[in-house]
């Protein structure tokens, strides 16, 4: 089937197959690259801010406790100011967590953290009032009894959120490595497939050109030496392959043309040789019967006839003079005016 195509179509088909494989490989690589990009964006836009916000809030709560402890102990106003700044920052961290956590359970967790944080701020405000009244010991006791347990619960929740974020980053990293591995596999497989298709196309194209070209060259060389058989055989093979349809392969057209030329040259040469032999025979003897007999044999051989008869008129009657492949009596009956071909005519 491939050899029946024209050389141009063979090259177009091979190039089309290679282009198709490259297009499919490009789609696979693009899909995997998009998946990798989404994974990276998810890490950068969601997981990293989530982990950072939970860590920042965790650090803020720890620092708040330290600042308040120092304030309760010394009564120094700068520690209270540092605590107030840290408390304002914690509100931004809570908002970041709320925006980054999309799951229902995570939203509930953020809501609980926010509620507990409000309790912490409320109890811390009461402890601060104890200090402002001059009762530092009561502030320390109140803080340890009402603030520290709630703060510990919040810190545990923040640790859980950070751990979930880290686990998701690990999963995203695994997906990233998997996508890269798939991209590498797709690139390697596409290169191998393209190379195989290109190699097969080259092999089939070269074979479809080399073998017929060699046969045509051998036929032409034999034709130049006066041997018509290879060219005629090539013509018959080409005609049989196309099943009497218009051939589509350029080399097949050349083979048919060379074969037709060989047939015409062979027929012309046989005609010239027959004329020469007949002329030689006619000049070889003065005996009419011998001349006619020799001429009939040559004519029958040239025309591949099974039977040959030469008649001469004797008066109005056809009389067989010489025969080939039959008897003289049969030849006479064929020319009988009452029963033979003359009567039928």
- Identify which has the larger pLDDT, 261 or 295: 261
Choose which CATH entry (3.30.930.10, 3.30.450.40, 3.40.50.150, 3.40.50.970) describes domain 284-344: 3.30.450.40
CA–CA distance, 246 with 289 (Å, rounded to integer) = 51
Q: Token digits for 15?
A: 């190039």
Which percentage of the chain shows pLDDT scores above 90?
Answer: 0
Domain residue ranges of the chain, discontinuous segments joined by +: 2-200, 284-344
Say which residues have a Cβ less than 8 Å from residue 18's Cβ, sequence separation at least 6: 194, 197, 198, 201
Task: Give the mean model confidence (pLDDT) for residues 187-209.
Answer: 76
CA–CA distance, 195 with 22 (Å, rounded to integer) = 11
For CA atoms 323, 328, 330, 331, give the dihedral sign.
positive
- Summarize pLDDT for 257-276 with one digit per residue, the tens: 877 887 788 778 777 777 77
Angle between helices 77-100 and 48-74 (to 10 degrees): 160
- Summarize pLDDT for 209-224 with one digit per residue, the tens: 777 777 788 878 887 7
Task: Give the mean model confidence (pLDDT) for residues 319-326.
Answer: 76
Q: What is the CATH number of domain 2-200?
A: 1.20.120
Asked if the domains at 2-200 and 284-344 fall in one CATH topology, the answer is no
CA–CA distance, 318 with 312 (Å, rounded to integer) = 6
> Residue 122 pLDDT > 50, yes or no?
yes
- Summarize pLDDT for 75-120 with one digit per residue, the tens: 888 888 888 888 888 787 777 777 777 667 777 888 888 888 889 8
Q: What is the pLDDT of residue 117?
A: 86
């Amino acid at each position: 089937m491939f050899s029946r195509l024209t050389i141009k179509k063979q090259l177009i088909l091979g190039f089309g197959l290679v282009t198709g494989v490259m297009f499919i490989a490009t789609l696979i690589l693009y899909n995997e690259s998009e998946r990798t990009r989404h994974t990276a964006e998810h890490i950068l836009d969601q997981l990293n801010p989530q982990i950072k916000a939970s860590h920042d809030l965790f650090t803020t709560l720890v620092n708040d406790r330290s600042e308040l402890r120092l304030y309760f102990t010394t009564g120094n106003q700068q520690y209270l100011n540092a605590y107030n700044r840290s408390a304002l920052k914690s509100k931004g961290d809570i908002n970041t967590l709320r925006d980054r956590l999309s799951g229902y359970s995570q939203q509930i967790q953020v809501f609980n953290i926010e509620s507990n944080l409000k309790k912490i701020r409320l109890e811390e405000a009461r402890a601060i009032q104890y200090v402002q009244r001059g009762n530092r010991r009561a502030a320390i006791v109140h803080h340890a009894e009402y603030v520290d347990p709630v703060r510990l619960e919040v810190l545990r929740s923040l640790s859980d959120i950070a751990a979930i974020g880290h686990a998701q980053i690990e999963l995203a990293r695994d997906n990233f490595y998997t996508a890269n591995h798939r991209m590498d596999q797709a690139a390697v497989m596409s290169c191998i497939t393209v190379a195989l298709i290109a190699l097969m196309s080259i092999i089939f194209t070269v074979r479809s050109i080399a073998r017929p070209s060699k046969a045509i060259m051998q036929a032409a060389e034999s034709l130049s030496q006066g041997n018509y058989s290879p060219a005629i055989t090539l013509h018959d093979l080409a005609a049989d392959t196309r099943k009497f349809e218009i051939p589509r392969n350029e080399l097949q057209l050349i083979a048919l043309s060379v074969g037709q030329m060989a047939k015409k040259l062979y027929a012309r040469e046989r005609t010239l040789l027959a004329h020469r032999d007949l002329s030689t025979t006619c000049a070889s003897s003065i005996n009419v019967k011998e001349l006619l007999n020799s001429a009939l044999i040559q004519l029958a051989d040239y025309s591949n006839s099974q039977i040959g008869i030469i008649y001469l008129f004797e008066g109005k009657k056809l009389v067989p003079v010489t025969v080939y492949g039959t008897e003289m009596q049969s030849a006479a009956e064929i020319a009988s005016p009452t029963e033979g071909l003359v009567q039928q005519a």
